[in-house]
Amino acid sequence: MKFLGRQRLSKNPFRDNSITLLVSSLLLAAPITVFLLHCVYQTYSRKDAHWSHNHDILEFNTHHEPDVLLYVASYSGLVTTLNLSLAEYRNTPVKLETLSTTDGCAGSPSWLTLDWYNGVLYCTDEGLKDGKYGSLASFATHDNGTLTLLAKTSTAFGPVSAIMYGEWDYGLAVAHYGGSAFTTWKIQDPSNLTSLNVQQFSLPEPGPDPSRQEASHPHAAVVDPSKRFILVPDLGADMIHIYSVGFGDLGLSKLDPLVVAPGTGPRHIAFVVKETKTFMYLVTELANTIIGYEAVYGGEFIRFKEIWNSGIHGEAKDVPQGAAAAEIVVSPDRGFLIVSSRNESTLQVPDFDTRNGTIASDPLVSFKIDSETGHLTLQQDIPCGGRSPRHFSINKTGTLVAVALQRDSRVVIIERDAKTGILGDFIAYAELEGEVTAVVFYE
């Protein structure tokens, strides 16, 4: 388990003694130089890697990278740790090993937020089994994949998204779809989750889609790149609530919302910084569109100028009847945008278990982001490995995409070329218990 709580660096005791500082620096430099020379030797003597994307084919050798852990949430009540080992991959997807499970986030785990620095995993329980309240749980992570419950507390009903915010990330902002609420928590001590604020939303009247917009439905909580604002897309209210974060504390001030067209149904958003410009992309669940904005900062406010609007499959591309856009993510290199869609089932992939027949699949849709305009160019529209890709995440190097397939109770891993952004083959999968709601890499 990692050390909980961050410490500020102490002042340098040698800052006023230049001779002592010089001697100390030389003593420190010697072992570092030896270490760097060793690294150079290892690099040029071995000249190999775990795998590469040459000619879009994974190539393996005997020296492979350490295994990676994946955390998966599902409505079964379990959070599962998977061992992502690709050493055995030979053109057929590897079935991932389950290392650990915990029911500490039961009954209906819906979202996972990882604080890698402090070794803590936060999990929201949507509360579907209770129907009255949700909950928030914190776990200490361990290198062997096990999770130790630190704390669990009751929340407003229906939490579906959470993000750390504030100085040192001591705050947690949570969107509650079913409870029409937005809450904040102090998590400086992960074993003592403290409620800070509960904001309840209401509508003067139902929206254009009364079956989905009968009430306010906050669907995500996202921190902007400056870390000074929190944005909460509200599917029921057709707007994005905006809050400014207090300097040096966890207090929030509500700003004017960003209003979208009636019946749009805002779901999730993703930011990207391109040179001197900041763009925000909103995926809408009811209209199945991607709306792009350029963010403009000034003092204590943030404004948005619309620069893009298309269907989730790209400009002039039809969206199948009944489709429901889900997740939107910007790649680590900030060059690409990926969107998932549910309820389409228009694609086919080989059956992961039998490898004989085929199964229906929804899509992942990939776009290249123009650095100057923020416009999107369709790159790929491919099968995601099954039905209802409610959530997906990309590893830090941009070489793997993990997809949570809610209706198929499956997680799949897709290879990705970090340079070209091209999504490739399915290289691993796991069948789990219950509807899968979220998957994150432990990194």
Residue 45 pLDDT more than 90? Answer: no
The predicted-structure confidence for 109-148, as pLDDT tens digits, reads as follows 999 999 999 999 999 999 999 899 999 999 999 999 999 9
Secondary structure class of 414 (helix, strand, coil): strand
Tell me the helix, strand and coil percentages in the chain, rounded to 5. Answer: 10, 50, 45
Q: How far apart are the first and last CA of the chain?
A: 14
Whether 404 shows a pLDDT value over 70: the answer reads yes
Question: Mean pLDDT throughout 39-44?
Answer: 40
Q: What is the pLDDT of residue 63?
A: 31
| C-alpha span between 10 and 13 (Å, rounded) | 9
Q: What pLDDT, on the 0 to 100 scale, is given for residue 252?
A: 97
pLDDT number for residue 355: 77
Q: Is the pLDDT at 16 greater than 80, yes or no?
A: no
Instruction: Tell me if 224 sits within 8 A of 271, measured CB to CB.
Output: yes
Mean pLDDT of all residues in 422-442: 97
Better-scored residue on pLDDT, 7 or 321:
321
Exposed / middle / buried, residue 255 (Cβ in 10 Å: 0-12, 13-18, 19+): middle
Model confidence at 47, pLDDT cuts 50, 70, 90, reads very low
Summarised one tens digit per residue, pLDDT across range 238-280 is: 999 999 999 889 999 999 999 999 999 999 999 999 999 999 9
Q: Evaluate whether 392 touches 327 at the Cβ level (below 8 Å).
A: yes
pLDDT in tens, 336-371: 999 999 999 999 999 998 878 999 999 999 999 999
Strands 423-431 and 94-95: parallel
Question: What is the model's pLDDT at position 7?
Answer: 38
State yes or no: pLDDT of 172 exceeds 60.
yes
**Averaged pLDDT of the chain:** 88
Neighbours of 411 (CB within 10 A): 28
Give 90-112 pLDDT, tens digit per residue: 788 999 999 999 999 999 999 99
